[in-house]
Amino acid sequence: MKDLGRRGGLRGGPARAKKLDASRRVAIARAGAAARWKPTVLTLTRPKNLAELHCFVAQYGNGRAHTENCDPVGVLISAVAACRDDAGLARMIPVYLHRAHDEILADPKRLLAVSAEEARVLGYFLELTARLGDVAVPANLLRGLRRKFHANARPVALFRRELAESRASSLAASWKLVVSEPDESYESYFTKMTGNQRPIFRRRPKLRAAP
């Protein structure tokens, strides 16, 4: 039966096309191409596992996804906790912060409620994002995150499974982090995903004065 249907389609399709005028054939072809190449629009909800967390952080705010029951601050805190074992997720965080900074920085109290170790990672990514893009990070938020850990605290490894050697930048070292990649390694991905033509890595971060 399947073979008969296919044979009928192979004959019927060209026969139908011959009966159509050129403008109608062009219209049908254009409609088919538009349907085939139409961008997929994702619906993002609160991530339930690591795979969904990756998807949310990567796709949020890219224009091809919309969100339901979105909690950008909660997603950021989950990403900061998970990225210590995941360099790929860590690379996405500055882009996510760049896209969602208005929602995230509107509620600094939740950001200050993180653990001492998470405060180091969060503070590092906030300052890194400020250097890579035009994100104004409140100075009092960074000071509050720094107060979460002591100056003589032992360094925390950012990528525990992938750490080969200590190559911490001055920025990472200021947050008592040991990382296996330089800060500049984030720049190419950030440029590609945000459209910033020439992010100047050595630019000082913009810090808002405390209200």
Could you tell me if 142 and 67 lie in one domain? yes
Could you tell me if 59 and 103 lie in one domain? yes
Could you tell me if 6 and 59 lie in one domain? no
Is 44:32 a contact under the CB 8 Å cutoff?
A: no
- The total of structural domains in the chain comes to 2
Give the pLDDT confidence score for residue 105 in this predicted structure. 92
Could you tell me if 119 and 154 lie in one domain? yes
Give the pLDDT confidence score for residue 205 in this predicted structure. 46
Could you tell me if 61 and 122 lie in one domain? yes
Give the pLDDT confidence score for residue 4 in this predicted structure. 56
- 30: number of Cβ within 10 Å: 10
Average pLDDT, consecutive stretches of 10 residues, N- to C-terminus, the chain (211 residues): 58 70 79 66 83 90 80 93 87 92 91 91 93 88 90 76 58 84 80 66 47 50
Could you tell me if 102 and 15 lie in one domain? no
Could you tell me if 106 and 152 lie in one domain? yes
Give the pLDDT confidence score for residue 200 in this predicted structure. 45
Could you tell me if 178 and 101 lie in one domain? yes
Could you tell me if 107 and 147 lie in one domain? yes
Give the pLDDT confidence score for residue 189 in this predicted structure. 85
Could you tell me if 11 and 66 lie in one domain? no
Give the pLDDT confidence score for residue 201 in this predicted structure. 44
Give the pLDDT confidence score for residue 195 in this predicted structure. 74
Could you tell me if 66 and 127 lie in one domain? yes
Give the pLDDT confidence score for residue 155 in this predicted structure. 81
* Domain, as residue range, for 15: 2-36
Is 132:199 a contact under the CB 8 Å cutoff?
A: yes
Give the pLDDT confidence score for residue 160 in this predicted structure. 62
Could you tell me if 23 and 81 lie in one domain? no
E strands present in the chain: 42-44, 65-67, 136-138, 156-157, 177-178, 206-208
